Structures are given as structure tokens and as C-alpha cells.
Structure 1
């Protein structure tokens, strides 16, 4: 791994930290307010009443915002469901209008929550630059020694995501097992990003490493009017072999003088924003999942990514 001086020599310029640290620190502090966002309590009766209007069978006793809040507590504080019952029981003593819930009800209601990716398009710029990458999530927290000793291998859960490099917001998300290759999920992710951006925001460029160097992806970018920031192979052909746009991008890299000049020209270094989001997510939520079924693991990871997006938008 290169040190700072080596990197400065390699890239020809030092890294300049332009953050306003007073604003940055305040955003981190305000994240703590997220845990106690209890605005729904004042509207508890009205919310439950609307949910039960025309509902056959057993009525609801807990509004959807309360269940969503408990899901956040479950994810952020990594609190088991039985402890969550005790948490609400004690909290209802201090807040009489809050009705405590048993753990089976919390489990069933949280399991039925809508976990589709939540995006706030109002904080996006007019021209959006996205970075795509993937990362692995461990499916067990047992140590490396245990895996080596007993030859236990349970694989990984793989998170594929497209990130807005300006706001760090996740605009596209796919969760698969480890067998799915990165490039196979690129176009479905791009579909999600365009849906979330709508007509008000244009995707200007896609930044990606060599794992996404595929003709199909280049052809899709050309068709949709998105500039490529995909790192092509050093021995890539400069003539069309299935994708004229890819060949054009290779010729542009050669014209600029090589990879280093190409990377500086398109600001390829901003691709690290995707790795930064994954790193932040793992620091906040941990590197493992607690669910045991594959479906449960995927739901848990999606809930965590949704919480990350909401955490970003509430402190902007």
C-alpha cells in the first residue's frame, strides 16, 4: 500500500481537505437525534384510525411510523426483538401516549415493512455523477480461527450499489449472494438510478472499475446518453469489437497519454465515494448480519441501506 508521499509523487498533487469541520461535526452530532424522532406520538390515534378504516379482521394497534421507528432501533442499536419489547414497555412509562408492543407483533410488522430504497431527489444536483461498486457482508460473526479450524464456510451477502458522488446518497441497490458478478447487476442498478432521478436530474457520468468493462454496459451508456468513466483494460482494442463507444473511450485514453492522465481528466478518483459509503455503513451497522435465512439477510441489509440514506438526508 502506498504512503502519502508516494501517492503525492504518483498523482503529482497533494490531497486538500476542503471540508468545513464545524458543519461536518454538527452533522455527525445531529445523527443522534435520529434515534429519538418521536413526532408520530402526537398523531398516534389519527394514524391508527386511518389504518383501520375499511380494514377487515383484527384492527391495528400501532401506526406504521411507530413500526418504522422500531425497525430503525432494531437496525441502529442492533437490539433483539425481545429486548425491544422491554424497551417500549419502559418507554411507555415516561411517555404515556406510547403503547408498548410485544416482540412477536414487532417482528411480524417489521417483516412486512416496505424496504424499497428511499431516495430524496431534492438534494440531488441537476447533473448527477454516479459511482458503482460492490462489497461483501459476512453472514456470521464467528472468527477466522473457527472457520479455519472447523472448515466452516457460509459465504457472503453481496451488496451492489450506485452512489451519487456529491451527496453520498445510494441511488441504486441490489443485494445478492457472492456468486453474482458485479457487471451483471450494473444495468438493473442504472434503471433504479434513472427512476429515482426522474426527468429533473440527468445522469452525466458513470464511474466504475475494470470489473464493469463490458461491451453491453458501454452500449447501454451510449444509448442513454451517459458518459463513461469505466476503467478499461490496458490492452483494450482501439477498434470496435462489439461496442464502438467502448473503442472510442479507449482511443480517448490513449490520446490523453494513458491511465493517469485519463483518470485526472474525468476525475476518476471520485469513484472512492462508493467505497466510502460501504465503509461508513459497516462502521455504523457492523460487518455481519444476524438473520439466518437468505431472505432475512437480504431484508436486513436493505433496511440498513435505507437507514443510511435517511440518516444522510435528515442532516443535510
Structure 2
């Protein structure tokens, strides 16, 4: 089979590896970032101000830290109680919580996507994509022999190609198509970007080649980096902006030049996000209910975003 010539430009790796190595080492500080201990009493007083009923005994920052330990180390709740009890014996100011308290408080945590706006550029270029998360470790033989099929979960994200932060996050089952989550992802991304960091361009593959998505981009004055079909119409068939993008692609001589103009190659940052995410957290989930699976994945993405922010947005 003849080898197909690569028309895309190779990615120039210009990063300073000494700085990059230091940033990767710094990520290890995430596991034992105990800054919340210094503001333990302050956080508790704020949480209990005007509260009726039993007051909180543990600040939200401590619960969020324990949720990170649970997520990264996949530590069961009873073991977490023993872990923090032993850790409290060495660290003044740290108070141990029982496993039932940890479980209930972690289940009530705010799981909105954490984003550091200070790391974002003036004009944001984002990449949209999705990946599958396994819901069982059953192998191919089990599925074939016993006709067991539980499907998978889809993780939809929009990634800032400069900082690698996830700016939009949606979790669905396998029946939901990628393009159906595009507008909700874009809404979240624009909320995180605000007027100071507007979204300039969206990069996406052919799964997002839909008229309504091009119309949405045109209405919001966002440039398209969506890959259109080879035989796409050059006249309006429901989206004048899509037809304009197709004419531009043809005028530039096809996909190779089009990809350079719109920096379509940077869409690989979404693939890099998924690769780093799965290397750290694995390709499956431990929860058994769908709601628990969705919460588990959201907690993992939140922790990964915080880790990227701690390391200055460098990819793993």
C-alpha cells in the first residue's frame, strides 16, 4: 500500500524543556496543597454566618481537597478517613472527618468547571471534540459470549488551544451526537471568556458540519474552523456563512491551505487533553449509576483543569 504524503506541517516544539519539566514537577504539589488550613476558621465563620441548624465543622475548601484525593488516588471513603486522621497527627490545624461526613459533603460539592481567566489570551481559539469513557471493565469475550453491552459515556469539551484549559464541559450517554452539544459548550465557553477574553475562532471536525452551528457562529461573530465536506455546496442551503466558508476553502486550493489559514491543526489540543486526562484517571469509571458516573467524570475534569492551571496551562 503506497504511503500517503503528509500535507500538514509538523508541529514545531519550541518549548523550553527545563521550564516544562519544572512545571510537571510542580503538579505534584496539587496533592498536598494545604493552604486552606491557614484560613480554616475564616472559611467556617463565613459558611456558618446566618446558618440555622447544625453548623458546619469543616470548610468547603477542605472538602474540595479531600474530593481531589478521592478522585486522583481513587481512595475509598473509609480509607480517606484513616488517611486524613493520620495526616492530622502530623499537621497542626488539620482536623479529621469521618467517612460519612466526607461522602455527604463531597456529593453536595459545586461541580461547576473551574477556569482561571488570567491565563486566557485576548482572542481565544477553542477546539471542540468528544471522547468515550468506558462504564465497565468487561472484555470483548464477555460481551460476545453473554451478549453483555452497557455502552459508554461521552465526554464533550471545548479546549482553549493556548492554555489547554477546558472552557466548556458536557457529559452524555453514547446516543447523543457531538453536534447537539456544540451550542451548550459554546455558551459555557463564552461565559468563561467574557468581554475581556472573547472567543475568536472555533475548531472542530466534520461531525460539527451543520448549518445551525455555522449560523450560530455567524450570529455571535465567531470565525469558523469547522471542517466541511469535500462536496459541500458553495451556495446557501440554509446557511450563507457555511457556503462562504466553503467558497473560501475552494479559493485557497483545498484543505491543506485552508487548514493553515484557520490553524485547523491546533485542534489536536483537544486530543491531547483527552490523552492526558485518561493517562491520569484511566479510561473508565468506578461509579455504577449513571448519575454517579456523570459526577465522577465531572470531578475528574475539574481536578485536571486545576492541575493545568497550577502548572501554567502546560499540557501533560
1:4-59 CA deviation, whole Å, 9 max, x = no partner? xx67x422644432121111111110010011111111222332233222222222
Partner of residue 161 from structure 1, selected from 153, 157, 161: 157
Return the alpha-carbon distance in structure 1 between the equivalents of residues 144 and 89 of structure 2.
48
Deviations 1:139-190 (A, max 9, x none): 1223333333322111111111000001101011101111110000101111
Is 2:123 the counterpart of 1:127? yes
Separation in structure 1 between the aligned mates of residue 158 and residue 41 of structure 2, nearest angstrom: 39
Aligned pairs for 1:3-18 (under 5 A) are 9-11=5-7, 13-18=9-14
Query: Structure 1 residue aligned with 2:255, among 256, 259, 263?
Result: 259
Of the two structures, which has the highest relative contact order with CA contacts closer than 8 Å and spacing of 6 or more?
A: 2
Confirm or deny: 8 A CA contact 2:8 2:256 kept in the other structure.
no
Match of 2:55 among 51, 54, 59: 59
| Partner residue of 2:168 out of 162, 167, 172 | 172
Structure 2 residue ranges without an equivalent (≥5): none
Counterpart of 2:277 in structure 1 is: 281
| Distance in 1 separating the partners of 2:37 and 2:295 | 26
SS of match in other structure, 1:10: coil
Aligned pair in 2 of structure 1 residues 270, 259: CA closer, same or farther (>3 Å)? same
Choose from 75, 78, 83 the match for 2:79: 83
Query: What's the counterpart of residue 301 of structure 2?
Result: 305
Q: Could you tell me how far apart the structure 1 residues matched to 2:8 and 2:237 are?
A: 35
Question: CA shift at 1:85, angstroms?
Answer: 0.8
Whole-angstrom CA distance in 1 between matches of 2:54 and 2:183: 43
Root mean square deviation of aligned Cα: 1.6
Q: Which of these residues, 43, 48, 62, is aligned with residue 47 of structure 1?
A: 43
Q: TM-score, normalised by structure 2?
A: 0.95
State the match for 1:149 in structure 2.
145
- 1:260 positional shift: 1.7
Gaps of 5+ in 1: none
Mapped pair 1:107 → 2:103: yes
- Alpha-carbon distance, 1:264 to partner: 1.9
What is the match of residue 182 of structure 1? Answer: 178
Corresponding residue to 1:290 among 286, 290, 311: 286
Aligned residue among 106, 112, 115 for 1:116: 112
Instruction: Provide the TM-score with structure 1 as the length reference.
Output: 0.95
Whole-angstrom distance in 1 between the partners of 2:261 and 2:129: 21
1:131 Cα offset (Å): 0.4
Distance 2:119 2:79 in 1: 36
